[in-house]
């Protein structure tokens, strides 16, 4: 049998079954982690045995998002109308479970007026309702809201937990297995694994490291790249360099890793990491992509010669 989120050490350590509260906030810097754990907790609240792993009717309805006592809000912007829809349901009795569960994912997207409206329902709890919110940005929530929520901080999952979460994501057709060993956040991993351009990005990065031998090569190689996903580009770049440093052949072609290692010393690769990080930050602030990459390759070459 597959392990479930309930078997992850991160979830077990939360001890959520003790003293049920009427409102929760799952928070950490990782959006996907917050949401996966919060949704699983919601599932256990509605489940007939409260395990969330028993395939009972309630669990099936939860997975299909058709459970009558479940409301999930997940939008780029949550407005007063959306909160009103929740408030209209608060005073009705649960239909099939013993509680009604309201999940608001990425609660930083609730605008201020809507937060004030939500606050009123949090101030007057009703034992048949449970609120579960998630966020990566607690500073975007009103202090008055924060003070009403039972705050659950999530530490970053270990390797085993990541494997279990990967199984869970596979059910949603998201395959993160090949990326499981990486140091990225789950959010980054998922973005990469569902990105059809991912393999293309990897090919382009190998091309950069392989084909640029002197500064004179930089403009032509850099300009020959076509990159659609410019943010993930630097995340991948850093990961490839890390794999080279660690002689790790799990994610990328062994020949490619060895080829880069024959060209660059480990020391030069290590010194490249902060340079890539810096390029990533510049990319986030919308500096011209080719300009940043030109600069980055120039600096990496410089390290290559200095660290010979
Ligand atoms: Zn169940």
Residues 57-110: tens digit of each pLDDT? 999 999 999 999 999 999 999 999 999 999 999 999 999 999 999 999 999 999
119 shares its domain with 232: no
* Domain annotation covers residue 175: no
* Domain annotation covers residue 290: yes
Residue 197 has pLDDT above 80, yes or no: no
Ligand 1 center to residue 135 CA distance, Å?
26
Ligand 1 center to residue 99 CA distance, Å?
14
Split into its structural domains, the chain has a count of 2
148 shares its domain with 208: no
Ligand 1 center to residue 228 CA distance, Å?
42
Does residue 165 sit in helix, strand or coil? Answer: helix
152 shares its domain with 205: no
Ligand 1 center to residue 128 CA distance, Å?
18
Ligand 1 center to residue 172 CA distance, Å?
18
Q: What is the pLDDT of residues 244-255, one digit of tens each?
A: 999 988 778 888
Ligand 1 center to residue 5 CA distance, Å?
13
For CA atoms 285, 107, 24, 41, give the dihedral sign: negative
Predicted local distance difference test score (pLDDT) of residue 171: 84
81 shares its domain with 129: yes
More confident residue, 179 or 40: 40
* Domain annotation covers residue 22: yes
Does residue 256 sit in helix, strand or coil? Answer: helix
* Domain annotation covers residue 165: no
93 shares its domain with 203: no
Ligand 1 center to residue 2 CA distance, Å?
15
How much is the average pLDDT of 126-132? 95
The model's confidence at residue 191, banded by pLDDT at 50, 70 and 90, is confident
Does residue 157 sit in helix, strand or coil? Answer: coil
Predicted local distance difference test score (pLDDT) of residue 108: 97
* Domain annotation covers residue 181: no
296 shares its domain with 216: yes
10 shares its domain with 150: yes
Residues 6+ apart with CB under 8 A from 143: none
Ligand 1 center to residue 1 CA distance, Å?
16
Domain boundary residue, one of 137, 156, 175: 156
Predicted local distance difference test score (pLDDT) of residue 19: 83
More confident residue, 277 or 230: 277
Ligand 1 center to residue 273 CA distance, Å?
46
Does residue 42 sit in helix, strand or coil? Answer: helix
How much is the average pLDDT of 235-263? 89
| 186-199 CB burial, b ≥16 within 10 A, e <16 | bbbbbbbbeeebbe
Ligand 1 center to residue 62 CA distance, Å?
9
Q: What is the pLDDT of residues 13-60, one digit of tens each?
A: 999 978 889 999 999 999 999 999 999 999 999 999 999 999 999 999
Domain boundary residue, one of 156, 181, 204: 156
Residues 6+ apart with CB under 8 A from 293: 208, 222, 225, 279
Ligand 1 center to residue 53 CA distance, Å?
6
Ligand 1 center to residue 52 CA distance, Å?
5
* Cα Rg of the chain, angstroms: 23
Question: Cα-flanking dihedrals φ and ψ of residue 133, to 5°?
Answer: -110, 155
Q: What is the mean pLDDT of the chain?
A: 92
116 shares its domain with 254: no
Alpha-carbon distance of 232 to 196, in angstroms, equals: 12
E strand or H helix that includes residue 26: strand 23-27
* Domain containing residue 94: CATH number: 3.40.50.300
The residue with tokens 């569902």 is: 194
* Domain annotation covers residue 84: yes
* Domain annotation covers residue 233: yes
144 shares its domain with 253: no
* Domain annotation covers residue 148: yes
Predicted local distance difference test score (pLDDT) of residue 307: 83
Residues 6+ apart with CB under 8 A from 285: none
Ligand 1 center to residue 77 CA distance, Å?
31
226 shares its domain with 279: yes
Predicted local distance difference test score (pLDDT) of residue 164: 94
Predicted local distance difference test score (pLDDT) of residue 1: 53
Ligand 1 center to residue 46 CA distance, Å?
7
85 shares its domain with 224: no
Alpha-carbon distance of 75 to 117, in angstroms, equals: 17
Ligand 1 center to residue 59 CA distance, Å?
4
* Domain containing residue 232: CATH number: 1.20.272
Q: Are 141 and 109 in contact (CB under 8 A)?
A: no
Domain boundary residue, one of 156, 185, 204: 156
113 shares its domain with 230: no
How wide is the angle at C-alpha 36 spanned by C-alphas 85 and 72, nearest 5°? 10
Listing DSSP states for 79-112 in one string gives -HHHHHHHHHHHTSPPSSSSSEEEEESSGGGB-H
Domain carrying residue 9: 5-156
Q: Where are the beta strands (DSSP E) in 35-192?
A: 70-73, 100-104, 129-135, 150-153
Q: What is the pLDDT of residues 215-224, one digit of tens each?
A: 999 999 999 9
Tell me which residue of 108, 115, 138, 104 sits closest to 35, measured CA to CA.
Answer: 104
Predicted local distance difference test score (pLDDT) of residue 18: 80
């Amino acid at each position: 049998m597959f392990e479930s989120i309930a078997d992850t050490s991160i979830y077990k350590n939360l001890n959520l079954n003790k003293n049920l509260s009427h409102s929760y906030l799952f928070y950490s810097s990782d959006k996907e982690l917050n949401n996966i754990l919060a949704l699983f907790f919601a599932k256990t609240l509605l489940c007939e045995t409260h395990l969330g792993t028993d395939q009972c009717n309630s669990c099936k309805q939860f997975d299909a998002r058709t459970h009558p006592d479940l409301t999930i809000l997940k939008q780029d912007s949550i407005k007063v109308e959306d909160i009103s829809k929740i408030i209209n349901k608060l005073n009705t009795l649960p239909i099939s479970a013993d509680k009604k569960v309201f999940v608001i994912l990425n609660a930083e997207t609730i605008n201020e007026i809507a937060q004030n409206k939500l606050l009123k329902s949090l101030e007057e709890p009703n034992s048949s309702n449970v609120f579960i919110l998630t966020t990566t940005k607690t500073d975007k929530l009103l202090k008055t809201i924060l003070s009403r929520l039972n705050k659950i901080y999530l530490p970053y999952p270990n390797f085993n937990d990541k494997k279990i979460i990967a199984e869970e994501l596979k059910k949603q057709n998201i395959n993160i297995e090949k990326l499981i060993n990486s140091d990225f956040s789950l959010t980054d991993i998922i973005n990469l694994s569902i990105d059809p351009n991912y393999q293309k990005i990897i090919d382009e990065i190998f091309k950069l490291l392989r084909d640029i031998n002197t500064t004179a090569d930089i403009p032509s190689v850099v300009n020959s790249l076509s990159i659609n996903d410019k943010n993930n580009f630097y995340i991948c770049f850093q990961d490839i360099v890390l794999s080279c440093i660690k002689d790790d052949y799990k994610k990328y072609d062994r020949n490619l890793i060895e080829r880069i290692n024959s060209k660059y010393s480990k020391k030069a690769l290590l010194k490249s990491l902060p340079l890539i990080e810096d390029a990533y930050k510049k990319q986030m602030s919308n500096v011209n992509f080719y300009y940043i990459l030109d600069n980055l390759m120039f600096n990496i070459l410089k390290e290559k010669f200095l660290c010979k």
